Amino acid sequence: MLRNHANIQHCSTAQHTTKPRPSMPRDLESEKMTLAGLPPLTKSPAQDDPGDKLMHDMQKGRQRDELHPLVQTLNPSYTDDCVKLENAAFPEGQRGSREKFIYRLTICGELCLGLFTTSESAPGHVATQSTEHIVESGAPARKEFLLAMVSATKTRNEFISDDDMNVPPDWRDQPYPSNATVGHQEDGRTIAIHSLAVEPEVQGRGLGKTLLKAYIQRMQNSGIADRISILTYERLVSFYESVGFVNRGPSEVQYGGGGWVNMVLDFPETPNGPNKVGE
């Protein structure tokens, strides 16, 4: 189920992410004369300075680019990484279990995407430091570290339900049952994101939005679904709206105590199906 970390401030691929220009200074002499005739200043509500926002966004972009992030599809070999990242990003009671990650990465890993950085050492004290993977390149000392992830399944519902978030008890014997009502539903046309997690050590650099944009584009281009559905808290609604999701009202899901909001992003349609990004 989609939980998003409260601190979301929460790319190239492998298998198979302008602000108003600050006005020029006015003529200083004219400004001095104008100010001389003004009444004394009084306090007024603070307003966001477009220039400050521009500088903030530029700094965030530089911090993100310093990590040289890349995205790639996740598979069962990343189970430990996902569990560690999940535990670091979310409070107890809202974390996906190890069983859920094994299930999702095995049954529908193509719907799960990770954002990595490669380096000879971990960027700070990241949760996935102990599960580093060797990068297959000419630099054996170089390793990859998982910094953010999306895990998801498909459902026939428009909105995510409690059953969509569960794991079928017999999934190993019947991985793709045609009549599935619990867990992944292969014939579903809604992608249900259950987790968007960002390593706390690198939050505030725009990695969550970078990964989510890459995920949306990849899923839309694939044509495997008509929409993406996600659950979040009211305080994070604006984050998802900024990348195209629409607030569809309160969710009936009771996972983690309830209080969720349904967010849905519908892919544009053409006579031949969903639009591909760039068409």
- 273 forms beta bridges with 270
Answer yes or no: is 195 within a domain: yes
The residue that leads in pLDDT, 18 or 144, is 144
Across 11-142, the runs of DSSP E, i.e. the strands, are 70-73, 113-119, 133-134
Answer yes or no: is 32 within a domain: no
Answer yes or no: is 47 within a domain: no
Answer yes or no: is 108 within a domain: yes
The torsion of the CA quartet 54, 55, 59, 60, rounded to 10 degrees, works out to -40
Percent share of the chain, pLDDT over 90: 56
Residue 126 has what pLDDT? 63
What is the count of structural domains for the chain?
1
Q: Residue 226 pLDDT > 50, yes or no?
A: yes
On average, the pLDDT of the chain sits at: 78
- For residues 171-179, average pLDDT: 92
- CATH of residue 208's domain is 3.40.630.30
Answer yes or no: is 19 within a domain: no
Q: Residue 66 pLDDT > 80, yes or no?
A: no
Print the domain residue range for 156: 3-13+55-167+180-274
Q: Does pTM top 0.85 for this prediction? A: no
**Measured on CA atoms in the order 240, 16, 189, 192, is the torsion positive or negative?**
negative
Answer yes or no: is 48 within a domain: no
Residue 79 has what pLDDT? 97
Residue 141 has what pLDDT? 62
The residue that leads in pLDDT, 57 or 258, is 258
Answer yes or no: is 174 within a domain: no
Find the range with the poorest average confidence among 10-19, 64-73, 160-169, 259-268.
10-19
pLDDT in tens, 96-123: 999 999 999 999 999 999 999 887 555 5
Find the range with the poorest average confidence among 67-71, 92-96, 179-183, 239-243.
67-71
Answer yes or no: is 152 within a domain: yes
- For residues 202-231, average pLDDT: 95
Residue 23 has what pLDDT? 47
Residue 144 has what pLDDT? 83
CB atoms within 10 A of CB 77: 11
Give the confidence band of 175 by pLDDT, cuts at 50, 70, 90.
very high
Residue 104 to residue 156: CA distance in whole angstroms:
17
